[in-house]
Amino acid sequence: MQCNYAMKGSRTTMESENLPILRIRVVKFLIQSAHDLEVAPIVKYSALSLFADRFYPSLSGITSSNASRNWLLQPITESNLQLFALVSLWISSKLHTSHPLSIKLLKSFGDKMIKEQHFMTRDLLDAEVIFMQILKFEIGTANITFVFLEELLIQFKEVAKVGELVNWEACMDVMDLLYEKEETSVSYSSPCSLAAAILVASYLITVPVQEWEFPVLPWV
């Protein structure tokens, strides 16, 4: 019995150490799922904020303290995290659209995309409850980076004609890259500053050099 207990403890520690590696893969899975499900950008980035900025960082505390014994969290596997990523899209779609993603659609999508585990409809419902509990039911998304970035770009276009040359798709590509590299979690306490940085990066990437007349750095 003592030997088995030690093996179990070792497994939990190993999984905790693998969390950063899993994060990259699951965030990419979430981004691809948002694309495949054709959700609105606000749904996608609200889901990324809920999952990557808030839910995922909380998992290390759960695994180290064994606070939860639910099978979806103990052990934490890539398949289970993919399920929670889909749940974040589901919750976000309920917050931001009049026709949210249906549980039937998510179940079918999960069956196709999650290869190593088959989840039932009940598992989706349980995962939603767990997700909400870990976030302490605080699912507001009014202060996420995407919202600030959208507002900044609108203001930029109002004060400078060159703002029309900033490519919105490039802005979202930069934000996707930051989520994949975990830079948003570091800057989560200041989403407005992160939005400004994304706007400046997109400006430098997409606006021709000969049009660099507006002092964008002092403005943001």
Q: At what angle do helices 41-48 and 78-96 cross, to 10 degrees?
A: 130
* CATH 1.10.472.10 residue window(s) in the chain: 2-134
Q: Which CATH number fits domain 2-134: 3.30.70.1450, 3.20.20.70, 1.10.472.10, 1.50.10.20?
A: 1.10.472.10
Residue 192 · residue 147 · CB < 8 Å: no
DSSP string, 49-72: IIIIIIIHHHHHHHHHHT----TT
Report if pTM > 0.85.
no
Q: What's the full length of the chain, in residues? A: 220
Max Cα distance, the chain (Å): 72
> What is the full per-residue pLDDT of the chain (220 aa) written as tens digits?
333 323 233 333 335 556 677 888 999 999 999 999 999 999 999 999 999 988 988 887 665 444 456 778 877 889 999 999 999 999 999 999 989 999 999 999 999 999 888 899 999 999 999 999 988 898 888 888 999 999 999 998 888 888 888 999 999 999 999 888 876 555 455 888 889 989 999 988 988 877 777 666 666 6
